[in-house]
């Protein structure tokens, strides 16, 4: 048990170094980073598309066109939310998605095989579950950012309110 | 937009001097007797008293001028428009989320209207530890009374909503006393959207009271203007350098505003005021500037009830208990104040732990959810020395606030207390807001489980809506960077009039503490600068009354 715990910690430390180095690498590969509003492209956007269904789970329609429409709407709302954050925070968010888009980080830190485009939902779920309570604070922070961005943005939209019994503001007051 | 008459719109039509610096197409230089940085609780009160006393005032606000015509009660618009960092401001390690206003009126535009005088035991501690001899309940009473009258702070006559009443009923069954919260409202509709800007102009925030009154008396308001740096020459500030922000409030436009005045009063709140002084390289011989920043770290307990609670409807905070602020000595294990928060989808869904099906199941119970808050009183113990404000590479403030084992102990006790009260009120289940917490179905089960929860960063969600300290007061320069008159030590013409003056946390929602204390400071300053007694603001001072 002792040995297993120790080797786990070792992997954790290696993971942290990879995370930090990955962020730097991502920034190097994508200059000039900011001050510009965040734009998620390519594999970074695929990360978001893979994480959203795992994070939102059963509130999304089960399949077909309604599911695709809900996913597209959720993605749009997350981007809108990010664009309201300070530019320095947008840069941190961009770094997080950029890092997760890198193959080694995806495999080593998130444990997701192959690309994000066709990520196995169970692996994405396991990744969120692991980061949520991970022994490394940095990964819990990253999970927290994904949680608040995706879930908060989802419930920001009035179309999601009737399902949770929230009547929304008094309509008579609004023009 | 709200369909009700908008006093700000009316004032602008009358010719108030308001400049949205996002629209400037050239740099500007302006002069006044006093520049007031920030338009929240401290800035609003200060600007009104100075303007009524005949002084020429410029108010600098980083946020936008928004008013009831803009307040549509939607979180998705209110948070980016009215709050610092879209209501997602964080401490350095991201362990605490901070709710702070960034709009004309500051946090008073978006707060939940809870009004408490500074507790006597807090003032006694300041007297003893920081030598603040004229900060007694008796000496401050006339100032609190003046602002209570000014802002219509009275007992709230309406019954509490169910969310608040569950705190009252649960506590009563355990013989824990509760009391009713006084509110700064006039003609409140009891809607429950205070946090998104009052759509009916009932909340007596700075936005519709002191700021309009100051503008009515000739003050000038600059919005989308970020105070960057005081230009210090010897012991005096020669000018204040500001940068204009674009309409989104996110990026500088490149235009600069230079402000010159006899005196500068900093009221940007306990994160931005120390940061402005740090950027200005203000004298700090004892290394105290930006230190001892307090947050009332706040944790949440969620209960599920058979009946509808509808925590989104009705005045958000009307019942509280100070019982656990008094069960231990003030400098003993951390005490905590109990209140409830209003529940709206974005805030609630972000705070509730877990994701996917588990989270969806919680949200599906939304109308039946009750939430309670334990606000921990920080700053009274050696192991609760608070946080410190430093500057990021881009000059933005970063608050480092380590959550010590001493604080986690208070967090655990707070979660235990709240669970016990919620079960006593009849909860079917109680979930401490902690990533490893579950929906417990009985008090014994919850007590055992909470007792075993590990406490570390981000496992328990910690929030703050009360930022205090960082420019603490003491006439002894080794104990504080500001004097008991709010003057910054070592600078002849710079004062601080906001919550950053407090040498500890308040142990209560701080708005009335800021109002009363800064009213006294501003009156002293007005008398000194004008050579005659300061004017006394009243509810009839400006365009503040509801029809």
Pairing mode, if any, of strands B388-391 and B225-233? unpaired
Residue B170: per-residue pLDDT: 98
Does residue A168 form part of some domain?
Answer: no
Long-range contacts, A105-114 (Cβ 8 Å, 24+): A105/A18, A105/A19, A105/A22, A108/A14, A108/A15, A108/A18, A109/A15, A109/A18, A109/A19, A109/A139, A112/A50
* Per-residue burial over A100-109, b = 16 or more CB atoms within 10 Å of its CB, e = otherwise: bbbeebbeeb
Half-sphere exposure of residue B165, counting CA atoms within 13 Å on the CB side? 12
Strand partners, B98: B89, B464
Quickly tell me which residue has 């909340």 as its tokens: B203
Nearest to B359 among A86, A140, A151 (CB): A151
DSSP A149: H
pLDDT tens column, B142-163: 999 999 999 999 999 999 999 9
Nearest CA to CA, how far is A102 from chain B (Å)? 24
DSSP B544: -
What are the φ/ψ torsions at residue B191 (nearest 5 degrees)? Answer: -85, -45
pLDDT exceeds 50 at position A9: no
Rounded to 5°, the CA angle B84-A91-B253 comes to 60
Kindly indicate the confidence band of residue B4, based on its pLDDT and cuts at 50, 70 and 90.
confident
Nearest to B3 among A140, A144, A174 (CB): A174
Residue A48: domain span:
2-160
Spell out which residues of chain A touch residue B366, defining contact as CB-CB under 8 Å: 164-166
Q: Which two tokens stand for residue B107?
A: 């946090």
Kindly indicate the confidence band of residue A37, based on its pLDDT and cuts at 50, 70 and 90.
confident
A 127-166: CB under 8 A from B: 128, 132-133, 137, 140-141, 144-145, 147-148, 151-152, 154-158, 160-161, 163-166
Does residue A102 form part of some domain?
Answer: yes
Mean pLDDT of B299-312: 98
Nearest to B325 by CA among B177, B134, B167: B177
Does residue A172 form part of some domain?
Answer: no
Please count the residues of chain B: 547
Cα dihedral sign for B49, B55, B56, B57?
negative
A-B CB pairs within 8 A amount to: 124
Q: Do B193 and A169 touch (CB under 8 A)?
A: yes
Spell out which residues of chain B touch residue A57, defining contact as CB-CB under 8 Å: 355-360
Kindly indicate the confidence band of residue B540, based on its pLDDT and cuts at 50, 70 and 90.
confident
Pairing mode, if any, of strands B319-320 and B336-339? unpaired
Residue B454: per-residue pLDDT: 97
| pTM score, whole prediction | 0.94
What are the φ/ψ torsions at residue B53 (nearest 5 degrees)? Answer: -85, 5
Higher per-residue pLDDT: B466 or A31: B466
Rounded to 5°, the CA angle B474-B478-B479 comes to 40
Alpha carbons B182 and B478: distance in angstroms, whole number: 37
Alpha carbons B448 and B67: distance in angstroms, whole number: 48
Q: Do A88 and B79 touch (CB under 8 A)?
A: no
Mean pLDDT of B349-362: 97
DSSP B331: T
pLDDT exceeds 80 at position B2: no
Q: Do A164 and B76 touch (CB under 8 A)?
A: no
What chain B residue is nearest to A154 in terms of C-alpha separation? B346
pLDDT exceeds 60 at position B325: yes
pLDDT tens column, B181-236: 999 999 999 999 999 999 999 999 999 999 999 999 999 999 999 999 999 999 99
Q: Which two tokens stand for residue B151?
A: 């802002």
DSSP B101: B
Alpha carbons B109 and B195: distance in angstroms, whole number: 8
Q: Do A57 and B394 touch (CB under 8 A)?
A: no
Average pLDDT in chain B: 97
Nearest CA to CA, how far is A175 from chain B (Å)? 6
Kindly indicate the confidence band of residue A82, based on its pLDDT and cuts at 50, 70 and 90.
very high
Spell out which residues of chain A touch residue B79, defining contact as CB-CB under 8 Å: 84
| Contact in structure between B64 and B226 (CB atoms under 8 Å) | no
Nearest to B457 among A137, A145, A168 (CB): A137
Alpha carbons B148 and B142: distance in angstroms, whole number: 10
Nearest CA to CA, how far is B33 from chain A (Å)? 33
| Contact in structure between B486 and B325 (CB atoms under 8 Å) | no
List, in sequence order, every beta strand (DSSP E) within B219-376: 220-223, 225-233, 236-245, 252-266, 291-294, 298-304, 319-320, 336-339, 369-376
| Contact in structure between B465 and B111 (CB atoms under 8 Å) | yes
Strand partners, B93: none
Mean pLDDT of B356-360: 97
List, in sequence order, every beta strand (DSSP E) within B169-235: 179-180, 182-184, 220-223, 225-233
A8 vs B: CB within 8 A:
no
pLDDT exceeds 80 at position A7: no
Alpha carbons B303 and B432: distance in angstroms, whole number: 8
CATH class of B7-530: alpha beta
A49 vs B: CB within 8 A:
no
pLDDT exceeds 60 at position A34: no
Nearest to B349 among A81, A151, A168 (CB): A151
Nearest to B33 by CA among B544, B531, B543, B540: B531
A57 vs B: CB within 8 A:
yes
- The secondary structure of chain A in percent helix, strand, coil, rounded to multiples of 5, reads 75, 0, 25
Select the residue from A86, A125, A126 to test the B interface by mutation, using most B Cβ atoms within 10 A. Answer: A86
Cα dihedral sign for A98, A102, A105, A108?
positive
Residue A11: per-residue pLDDT: 45
pLDDT tens column, B496-533: 999 999 999 999 999 999 999 999 999 999 999 999 99
Strand partners, B184: B153
Which of A37-41, B90-94, B474-478 bottoms out in mean pLDDT, i.e. has the lowest?
A37-41
Residue A16: per-residue pLDDT: 52
List, in sequence order, every beta strand (DSSP E) within B319-378: 319-320, 336-339, 369-376
Alpha carbons A64 and A67: distance in angstroms, whole number: 6
Please count the residues of chain A: 175
Alpha carbons A154 and B1: distance in angstroms, whole number: 22
Mean pLDDT of B290-309: 98
Alpha carbons A94 and A98: distance in angstroms, whole number: 6
DSSP B190: -
Alpha carbon B254 to its chain's center: 30
Kindly indicate the confidence band of residue A25, based on its pLDDT and cuts at 50, 70 and 90.
low
Domain total of chain A:
1
Average pLDDT in chain A: 84
Spell out which residues of chain A touch residue B1, defining contact as CB-CB under 8 Å: 174-175
pLDDT tens column, B309-321: 999 999 999 999 9
Q: Do A128 and B359 touch (CB under 8 A)?
A: no
Distances in Å between the Cα of B274 and the Cα atoms of A102, B37, B185, B408 are: 39, 12, 31, 27
pLDDT tens column, B41-86: 999 999 999 999 999 999 999 999 999 999 999 999 999 999 999 9
Mean pLDDT of B19-47: 98
Domain ranges of chain B: 7-530
pLDDT tens column, A94-110: 999 999 999 999 999 99
């Amino acid at each position: 048990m002792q040995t297993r715990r120790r080797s786990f910690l070792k992997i954790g430390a290696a993971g942290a170094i990879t995370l930090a180095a990955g962020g730097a690498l991502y920034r190097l590969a994508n200059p000039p980073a900011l001050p510009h509003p965040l734009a998620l492209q390519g594999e970074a956007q695929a990360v978001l598309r893979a994480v959203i269904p795992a994070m939102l789970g059963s509130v999304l329609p089960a399949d077909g066109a309604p599911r695709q429409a809900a996913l597209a709407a959720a993605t749009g709302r997350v981007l809108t939310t990010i664009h309201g954050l300070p530019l320095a925070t947008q840069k941190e968010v961009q770094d997080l998605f950029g890092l997760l888009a890198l193959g080694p980080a995806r495999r080593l830190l998130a444990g997701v095989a192959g690309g994000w485009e066709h990520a196995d939902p169970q692996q994405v779920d396991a990744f969120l579950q692991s980061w949520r309570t991970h022994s490394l604070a940095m990964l819990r922070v990253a999970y927290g950012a994904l949680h608040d961005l995706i879930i908060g943005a989802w419930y920001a939209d009035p179309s999601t309110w009737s399902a949770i019994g929230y009547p929304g503001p008094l309509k008579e007051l609004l023009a | 937009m709200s369909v009700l008459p908008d006093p700000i719109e009316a004032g602008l039509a009358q010719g108030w001097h308001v400049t949205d610096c996002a629209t400037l197409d050239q740099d500007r230089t302006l002069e006044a007797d006093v520049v007031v940085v920030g338009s929240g609780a401290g800035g609003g009160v200060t600007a009104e008293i100075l303007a009524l006393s005949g002084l020429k005032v410029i108010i600098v606000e980083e946020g936008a001028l928004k008013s009831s015509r803009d307040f549509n009660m939607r979180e998705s618009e209110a948070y980016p428009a009215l709050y610092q960092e879209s209501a997602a401001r964080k401490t350095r390690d991201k362990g605490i989320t901070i709710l702070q206003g960034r709009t004309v009126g500051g946090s008073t535009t978006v707060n939940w209207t809870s009004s408490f005088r500074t507790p006597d035991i807090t003032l006694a501690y300041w007297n003893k530890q920081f030598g603040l001899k004229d900060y007694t309940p008796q000496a401050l009473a006339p100032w609190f009374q003046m602002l209570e009258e000014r802002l219509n702070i009275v007992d709230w006559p309406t019954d509490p909503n169910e969310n608040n009443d569950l705190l009252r009923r649960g506590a009563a069954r355990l013989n824990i006393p509760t009391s009713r919260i006084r509110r700064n409202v006039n003609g409140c509709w009891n809607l429950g959207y205070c946090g998104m800007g009052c759509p009916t102009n009932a909340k007596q925030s700075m936005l519709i009271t002191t700021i309009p009154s100051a503008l009515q008396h000739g003050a000038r308001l600059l919005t989308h203007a970020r105070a960057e740096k005081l230009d210090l020459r010897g012991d005096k500030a020669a000018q204040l350098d500001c940068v204009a922000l674009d309409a989104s409030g996110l990026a500088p436009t490149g235009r600069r505003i230079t402000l010159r005045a006899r005196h500068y009063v900093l009221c940007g709140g306990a994160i931005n005021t120390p940061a402005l002084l740090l950027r200005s390289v203000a004298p700090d011989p004892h290394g105290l500037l930006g230190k001892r920043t307090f947050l009332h770290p706040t944790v949440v307990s969620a209960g599920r009830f058979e009946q509808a609670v509808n925590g989104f409807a009705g005045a958000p905070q009307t019942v509280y208990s100070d019982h656990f602020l008094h069960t231990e000595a003030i400098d003993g294990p951390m005490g905590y104040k109990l209140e409830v928060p209003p529940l709206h989808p974005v805030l609630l869904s972000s705070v509730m732990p877990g994701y996917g099906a588990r989270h969806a199941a919680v949200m599906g119970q939304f109308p039946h959810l009750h939430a309670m808050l334990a606000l921990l009183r920080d700053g009274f113990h050696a192991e609760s020395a608070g946080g410190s404000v430093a500057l990021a590479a881009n000059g933005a403030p970063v608050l480092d606030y380590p959550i010590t084992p001493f604080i986690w102990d208070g967090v655990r006790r707070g979660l235990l207390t709240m669970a016990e009260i919620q079960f006593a009120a009849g909860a079917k289940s109680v979930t401490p807001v902690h990533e490893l917490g579950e929906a417990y179905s009985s008090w014994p089960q919850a007590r055992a489980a909470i007792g075993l929860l590990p406490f570390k960063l981000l496992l328990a969600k910690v929030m703050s809506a009360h930022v205090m300290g960082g420019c603490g007061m003491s006439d002894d320069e080794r104990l504080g960077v500001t004097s008991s008159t709010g003057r910054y030590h070592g600078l002849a013409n710079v004062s601080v009039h906001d919550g950053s003056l407090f040498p500890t946390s308040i142990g209560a929602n701080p708005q009335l503490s800021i109002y009363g204390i800064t009213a006294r400071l501003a009156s002293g300053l007005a008398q000194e600068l004008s050579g005659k007694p300061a004017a006394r603001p009243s509810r009839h001072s400006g365009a503040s009354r509801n029809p």
